[in-house]
């Protein structure tokens, strides 16, 4: 299990959850499951009907775009969930 810092924008997190939290998980899928189980995000909203992470959510690990749920996490990684519609 790796200890990682997670950033979640307001629209993805539930009411009282913080924007930055520390989570222990081995990969992205485990991390998202943990966030759901602990009432930080609503997993039903994060995934589409095919069980895929919604296209309009980008996940970055240490600044690199990584939407593969099997992506392995390492101690000290910074995992950021960012809404895709921005910029320009």
Partner 1 sequence: MQTTSLIKSSPNIKGLACRDCGKFFEISLNHACDECFGALDVIYDFEKAKPSKDRIALREKNMWRYRELLPFDPVDAIYDIQAGYTPLIKAKKLGEKLGLKELYIKNDSVNPTFSFKDRPAAVGVNAAIHFGLDTVGCASTGNLASATAAYAARAGLNCLVFVPANTERTKVAQARAYGAKLIEVDGTYDDVNRLVSQAADLYNIGVVNVNLRPYYVEGSKTLAFEVAEQMNWEAPDAFIVPTASGAMFNAICRGFEELRQLNLINEEPSNPIVAQAEGCNPIVKAFKKNSDHIEVIEKPKTIALSLAIGNPGDGVYVLKRLKKKGFAEDASDDEIVEGICLLAKYEGIFTEPAGGVVIAVLKKLVDEGKIDRSDKVVCYITGNGLKTSEVISDKLESVTLIKPNLKELERVING
Contact residues toward partner 1 (CB under 8 A) are 7, 9-11, 19, 45, 54-58, 60, 63, 65, 80, 82-88
75 versus 87: smaller Cβ distance to partner 1: 87
SS3 category, 49: coil
Query: Minimum distance from CB of 6 to partner 1 (Å)?
Result: 12
DSSP code at position 81:
E
20/26 with CB nearer partner 1:
20
Which one, 34 or 60, has the nearer CB to partner 1?
A: 60
Q: In what order do the strands lie in the sheet with 78-83?
A: 20-25, 2-7, 78-83, 57-61, 64-65
Smallest distance, Å, CB 27 to partner 1? 21
| Residues 6+ away with beta carbon under 8 Å from 30 | none
């Amino acid at each position: 299990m790796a200890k990682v810092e997670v950033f979640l924008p307001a629209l993805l997190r539930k009411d009282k959850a913080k924007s930055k939290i520390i989570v222990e998980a081995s990969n992205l899928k485990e991390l998202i499951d943990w966030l759901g189980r602990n009432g930080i995000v609503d997993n039903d909203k994060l995934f589409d009907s095919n069980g895929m992470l919604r296209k309009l959510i980008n996940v970055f690990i240490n600044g690199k775009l990584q939407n593969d749920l099997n992506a392995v996490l390492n101690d000290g990684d910074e995992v950021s969930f960012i809404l895709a519609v921005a910029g320009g």
